[in-house]
Structure 1
Amino acid sequence: MILANLVLNTFSRGGPIMWPLLLTAVVAIVTVVERILWWSMVRLRRQGSRLSEVYSLLKHDQIEEAVRLARGTKDPVMKMIWWGLSHHDTSLQNALQVAAGFELKQAGRGLTILDTIVTLGPLLGLLGTVTGIMNAFHFVGNEELAAVKVSGGIAEALIATATGLALAIFALIPFNYFGRKVVNLQFDLETAATNVELLLQSRSREIRFAPPTAHYAEATPGAG
């Protein structure tokens, strides 16, 4: 109860700029919580062993079995492979790029919001500082109200500044953390896409250049 009263008292002394700061803080908290839940689900859905099985099937030219194994998974890497293999007749590389771009877009959702809050928080705090100082100077020269009002204006400026900086710090840490997660996912997607392309290319090359020994023996004069 005492803590709640202290928070409310500090909020009221921070001036009108505290309301947009409060709204920004709510947006930041909702975004961070949503990203934490999303990445937690991605971590649970990753299927490294299943990915190895898909590679093995592709290595033995069992594309249909690989598509069937990758279908219906929630793993972003497997979803990209499934989409690419399902559309490889037109352009495997383009299909993989489209699927990877979609997964990266989902992974990067919310980063723009956090990046904006990192910049917006201190600016709102600075605006509160200016308005607080302006309010304090309105009463300079009035000996009866100067002490109380000037100190109130300075308190408003300091509270707004501290709140804006705290909000920026709060958003900066998850922004960098989630940004690193997106980079790691991008690396996994690019690695998987490269492996799929190499496996299919190497297999088609083996089939294309395999020496037709039996036919050659039949066609050779004097054979048999």
Structure 2
Amino acid sequence: MELLATGFEFFQKGGIVMYILLLCSIFVVSIGVERALYFRRMDSGRGFARDFYLALSNGNWQAARKLADDSRGALADILFTVITKKPEAAVNPAAYMEIQSGIALAKLRNRLYYLSVIVTMAPLLGLLGTISGMITSFSVFNLESGQATAITGGVGEALIATAMGLCVAIFSLAVHAYFTQRVENIVTDMEQCFSLVEATAGASEEAA
């Protein structure tokens, strides 16, 4: 309880900027949770991409089809539609895969831009709070009375805003980097699977 009281006291000393940074941190957490749930639903996983690639490499279309049918996620859905030659993908499978993958990746990247904005904005807000606090400290500093502790204490309190801003920025950067890496992995899996599907389909058509 005492720790919470001390933390709240430090928070108040940081000034009004601390409340803005608190809102930013809540926003980052909400985006992180929302994206985690969305990725869990739409990311087929690296394991699926590996198994599908191996099945198709060995010419086992039935196993690849069953794997795509049993799996969830954007990549599995696209591949299943192409393999089963549904009407929307039968005419031009390559164009279908390109368009659908672009839509899926755009949805996966949704809201990640806000995290990059907070990474840049949070330290600036913290710096703004620090400068504001230092201006206040200097304005109350009385040179004739020699109140050195007044200014040093004020500067110390002002630096709380900078520390908070850096913490929010670091947290936001970590969340942004995590989901960006997952998107890059999905892009790699899509490129590998799509290129193999095109090559395999082309070879089977020539053989026929």
Query: After TM superposition, is the score higher than 0.5?
Result: yes
Matched with 2:24 is 24
Matched with 1:156 is 157
Q: Partners of 2:141 and 2:50 in 1: how far apart?
A: 73
Deviation at 1:180, TM superposition (A): 1.3
What is the correspondence of 1:18-167 to structure 2 with a 5 Å cutoff?
A: 18-41=18-41, 42=43, 47=48, 51=52, 55=56, 59=59, 66=65, 70-71=68-69, 73-84=71-82, 85-86=85-86, 87-141=88-142, 150-167=151-168
Matched with 1:219 is none
Q: Partners of 2:22 and 2:145 in 1: how far apart?
A: 33
Report the secondary structure of 2:15's partner residue: coil
Normalising by structure 1, report the TM-score: 0.76
Matched with 1:4 is 4
Q: Is the 8 A contact 1:14 1:155 kept in 2?
A: no
Q: Partners of 1:99 and 1:77 in 2: how far apart?
A: 9
Q: Is the 8 A contact 2:56 2:197 kept in 1?
A: yes
* Equivalent residues, number: 203
Q: Which moved more, 1:169-178 or 1:143-152?
A: 143-152
Normalising by structure 2, report the TM-score: 0.81
* Letter aligned with residue 141 of structure 2: V
Q: Is the 8 A contact 1:132 1:154 kept in 2?
A: yes
Is 1:13 paired with 2:34?
no
Q: Partners of 2:102 and 2:123 in 1: how far apart?
A: 33
Distance 1:159 1:43, change over 3 A: farther
Q: Is the 8 A contact 1:13 1:152 kept in 2?
A: no
Over the residues paired in the alignment, what is the CA RMSD in angstroms?
3.2
Matched with 1:220 is none
Deviation at 1:133, TM superposition (A): 1.1
Q: Which runs of no fewer than 5 residues in structure 1 stay unpaired?
A: 208-224
* Letter aligned with residue 78 of structure 2: M
Report the secondary structure of 1:74's partner residue: coil
Distance 1:141 1:116, change over 3 A: same
Q: Partners of 2:73 and 2:57 in 1: how far apart?
A: 18
Distance 1:181 1:44, change over 3 A: closer
Write the deviation string for residues 161-189 of structure 1: whole angstroms up to 9, x where unpaired.
00001111111122222211111110001
Q: Partners of 2:46 and 2:37 in 1: how far apart?
A: 12
Deviation at 1:45, TM superposition (A): 9.9
Larger Rg computed on CA atoms: 1
Percentage of pairs with the same residue: 30
* Letter aligned with residue 16 of structure 2: P
Matched with 1:195 is 196
Q: Is the 8 A contact 2:49 2:193 kept in 1?
A: no
Higher relative contact order (CA 8 A, sep 6+): 2
Distance 1:43 1:153, change over 3 A: farther
